Amino acid sequence: MALSGARRDGMELRIHESLEELSTDLADYISDLSEATIKERGTFCIAISGGSLVSLMRTLSQAPYIKTIEWAKWHIFWVDERVVAKNHADSNYKLAKDNFLSKIPFIPSHLHSINDSLTAEKAANEYEFVIRQLVRTRVVGVSEISDCPRFDLILLGMGCDGHVASLFPNHSVLDEENEWVSYIIDSPKPPPERITFTLPVIQSSANVAVVVTGSNKADMVHLAIDDVGPECPSVPAKMIQPINGKLLWFLDEPAASKLGGATQNSV
Ligand SMILES: O=C(O)[C@H](O)[C@@H](O)[C@H](O)[C@H](O)COP(=O)(O)O
């Protein structure tokens, strides 16, 4: 049984008893959003992070989703990527392929991953160029407020330190306001070299879903979601507030165990 309720303006929480229940609800959410977006725009542009989120997306490669989703209309991007070869164990591209993408009938040219033969800086620049081209050809939407790409869905995980994508606490990349894709060479979470969507791009998304599980994240979930006053440390996950979009948190009960305040409704 899931609990759900609005906590901050426009933010919804979905708290689940089990990873299986969360994974199914996440698949239903993505499937429904895909159907509605394709009906409206003709394509569905989704950007995924790495980490444990990806194993929770396996359900999409199973019935009924494998048959009901219009995969040919999907364009898949990476919110962040490690600057390693695509067949390297640390690659988010490899993680997604191994977990679900290899089982999905998408159009190969609709998979937009980094050029793994470049340096972090060049890979970020080229990835941004690819996205700019897809905005120009209207495959990817554009935010009328920020002029940033407006992805239909950005899926984030969150680290124990509150990082999302490769936006780590107190890192200067959090202040990037002009580039759509930036890079870091000093990631506190290995490997050190990564490219990442910048905060303005994430904030411009039509929908952002943050998927967090495990009791080791409970303290940071509390800091990210609850109002904890001005003494709150730098928590990138707390900065995620889509400027004209929806924010949804998928949590299991251990990750939600330190949330304050009442959680309304049960579905
Ligand atoms: O490339 C990465 O490392 C991810 O994009 C990163 O942002 C991840 O989503 C979080 O670190 C949570 O990872 P876990 O859910 O595995 O803790």
Q: pLDDT tens per residue, the chain (267 residues)?
A: 567 666 655 699 999 999 999 999 999 999 999 999 999 999 999 999 999 999 999 999 999 999 999 999 999 999 999 999 999 999 999 999 999 999 999 999 999 999 999 999 999 999 999 999 999 999 999 999 999 999 999 999 999 999 999 999 999 999 999 999 999 999 999 999 999 999 999 999 999 999 999 999 999 999 999 988 877 788 999 999 999 999 999 999 999 999 986 544 444
Which atom of ligand 1 is closest in space to residue 49's alpha carbon?
Answer: 5
Which atom of ligand 1 is closest in space to residue 164's alpha carbon?
Answer: 7
| Residue nearest ligand 1's atom 13 by CA | 51
Distance 137 CA to ligand 1 centre (A): 31
- Which two structure tokens, joined as six digits, stand for 53? 């989120």
Cα–Cα distance measured from residue 212 to residue 250, given in angstroms and rounded to the nearest whole number: 6
CA angle 46, 52, 57 (to 5 degrees): 45
Distance 149 CA to ligand 1 centre (A): 22
**pTM of this prediction exceeds 0.90:** yes
Instruction: Give the side-chain half-sphere CA count within 13 A for 83.
Output: 23
Which atom of ligand 1 is closest in space to residue 81's alpha carbon?
Answer: 1
Which atom of ligand 1 is closest in space to residue 165's alpha carbon?
Answer: 7
Which atom of ligand 1 is closest in space to residue 211's alpha carbon?
Answer: 15
| Residue nearest ligand 1's atom 14 by CA | 51
End-to-end, the C-alpha distance of the chain in Å comes to 7
Cα–Cα distance measured from residue 32 to residue 3, given in angstroms and rounded to the nearest whole number: 19
- Phi and psi (nearest 5°) for 219? -60, -45
Distance 52 CA to ligand 1 centre (A): 7
Amino acid at 182: S
Strands 246-252 and 153-156: unpaired
| Residue nearest ligand 1's atom 16 by CA | 51
Per-residue confidence (pLDDT) for residue 257, from 0 to 100: 96
Mutate to test the pocket of ligand 1, among 80, 83, 199, 212 (most ligand atoms within 8 A of CB): 80
Q: What is the ipTM of this complex?
A: 0.98
Burial class (CB within 10 angstroms; exposed 0-12, middle 13-18, buried 19+) of 136: exposed
Q: Cα 247 vs. chain centroid, distance in angstroms? A: 11
Q: Which residues line ligand 1 (CB under 6 A)?
A: 49-53, 80, 92, 157-159, 163-165, 189
Mutate to test the pocket of ligand 1, among 163, 202, 219, 235 (most ligand atoms within 8 A of CB): 163
Mutate to test the pocket of ligand 1, among 99, 164, 196, 217 (most ligand atoms within 8 A of CB): 164
Q: Which residue has the tokens 């299991």?
A: 252
Fill in the DSSP letter of residue 101.
Answer: G
